[in-house]
Structure 1
């Protein structure tokens, strides 16, 4: 398996973990009182948008040629770091 393939698999696994966590938080939001549910829904919307952007970057990486995928990977890492930070902040608000 090439470095590129290994990296793509790693990112797919990360996105799967992200999706599982979003699902957990969605369940928690459904149990919340109405006023808190609105707040949770807004945070979940933001998290889904970030996930969708990350998935688009992953698709870009899959389409990128061998030469350019490293550049795309660097952008992916930056996006992942930003998404992780935002996710932690949003998850902390759920507690």
Structure 2
């Protein structure tokens, strides 16, 4: 497996984990008070936007030529880091 393929597989696995975490956070939000639910919904929406952004970067990376993928890799790394940060911040609100 090439370095590019390994990178893409790691990103796909991260997306799967984030989707599962979003589902779990949604379940927690449903059990919260109405006021807390509103705040949680904002956090969840922010997570969904970040996840969609990360998914878009992954799609671009998969379509990129061999020569262009290394340039896209940097942007994808940045999108993934934003996603990790968004999850840490959102998870803190759910505690």
Instruction: Give the alignment of 1:18-57 within 5 angstroms.
Output: 18-57=18-57
Corresponding residue for residue 59 of structure 2: 59
Say which SS state the counterpart of residue 92 (structure 2) adopts. Answer: helix
Shift of 1:79: 1.0
Runs of 5+ unmatched residues, structure 2: none
Corresponding residue for residue 4 of structure 1: 4
Corresponding residue for residue 13 of structure 2: 13
Q: Normalising by structure 2, what TM-score?
A: 0.97
Runs of 5+ unmatched residues, structure 1: none
Q: CA RMSD in A?
A: 0.6
Shift of 1:83: 1.4
Corresponding residue for residue 71 of structure 2: 71
Shift of 1:29: 0.2
Cα distance in structure 1, aligned partners of 2:94 and 2:85:
15
Shift of 1:84: 0.7
Cα distance in structure 2, aligned partners of 1:60 and 1:45:
23
